[in-house]
């Protein structure tokens, strides 16, 4: 398994890639030794720092942050996804277009369980490949941006990067599955968040 790092506006991101595809993305506050132990337990203890083995993933993430990539076309290794419902939630989330959002309920419905919005939220919180599977694009129907396993300020930053969060607020009163495009926003810094 290959390990690589990506310097990003959100800090240094670690990526783990198996022969099957991208298996794990870790934000900076996750201790790398702990993440490596977790990856070793779930996938393989043989982890090598390998710039060539992670090159496609690192380039894609760089391009996303530079505004040159709006849809990831990377193979995903779902080894960290414990059940079929969680995988269906993440697969549905991967289909939400750049610059749009959907609700937890809509994603649950797309995953085949319309009443499982809370379970969909749990699956998204445990998303092993954030950014690439854009769980940041899923928000509560009641308003605000909701929770995020990578910290709420990052979710707000990513939404603002994509032009979905304008002025630190997001109106999701009528967010259909196909998403709602928010007004254009300036390139983000660390936005204020109105979590309603």
CATH number at residue 106: 1.10.10.10
Q: What percent of the chain has pLDDT over 90?
A: 75
Q: CA-CA distance, 194 to 64, in Å (whole number)? A: 25
Instruction: Quote the pLDDT of residue 139.
Output: 92
pLDDT (average), residues 140-146: 85
pLDDT band at residue 193, thresholds of 50, 70 and 90?
very low
Which uninterrupted H or E stretch holds 34?
helix 32-42
Q: Do 194 and 119 lie in a common domain? A: yes
Does residue 121 have a pLDDT over 50? yes
Instruction: Quote the pLDDT of residue 167.
Output: 60
Q: Do 104 and 61 lie in a common domain? A: no
Does residue 186 have a pLDDT over 60? no
pTM of the model as a whole: 0.84
Given 6, 39, 81, 135, the catalytic residue: 135
Q: Do 32 and 112 lie in a common domain? A: no
* Residue 109 contacts residue 162 (beta carbons within 8 Å): no
Domain containing 40: what range?
2-65
Catalytic annotation present for 52: no
Number of C-beta neighbours around residue 189 at 10 A: 9
Provide the number of structural domains found in the chain: 2
Higher pLDDT, 65 or 190: 65
Window from 81-90, 148-157, 173-182 with minimum mean pLDDT: 173-182
Instruction: Quote the pLDDT of residue 182.
Output: 33
Q: Do 103 and 183 lie in a common domain? A: yes
Tens-digit pLDDT profile for residues 54-86? 999 999 999 999 999 999 999 999 999 989 999
């Amino acid at each position: 398994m290959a390990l690589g790092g990506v310097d990003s506006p959100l800090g240094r991101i670690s990526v783990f890639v198996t022969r099957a595809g991208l298996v794990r993305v870790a934000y900076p506050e996750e201790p790398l030794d702990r993440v490596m132990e977790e990856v070793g337990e779930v996938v393989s203890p043989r982890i090598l720092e390998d710039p060539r083995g992670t090159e496609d993933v690192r380039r894609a993430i760089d391009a996303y942050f530079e505004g040159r990539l709006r849809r990831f076309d990377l193979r995903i290794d779902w080894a960290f996804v414990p059940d079929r419902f969680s995988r269906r939630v993440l697969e549905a989330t991967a289909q939400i277009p750049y610059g749009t959002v959907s609700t937890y309920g809509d994603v649950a419905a797309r995953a085949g369980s319309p009443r499982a919005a809370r379970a969909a939220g749990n699956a998204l919180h445990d998303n092993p490949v954030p950014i690439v599977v854009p769980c940041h694009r899923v928000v509560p129907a009641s308003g605000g941006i909701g929770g995020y396993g990578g910290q709420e300020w990052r979710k707000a930053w990513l939404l603002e990067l994509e032009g979905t969060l304008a002025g630190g607020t997001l109106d999701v009163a009528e967010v259909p599955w196909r998403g709602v495009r928010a007004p254009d926003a300036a390139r983000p810094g660390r936005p204020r968040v109105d979590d309603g």
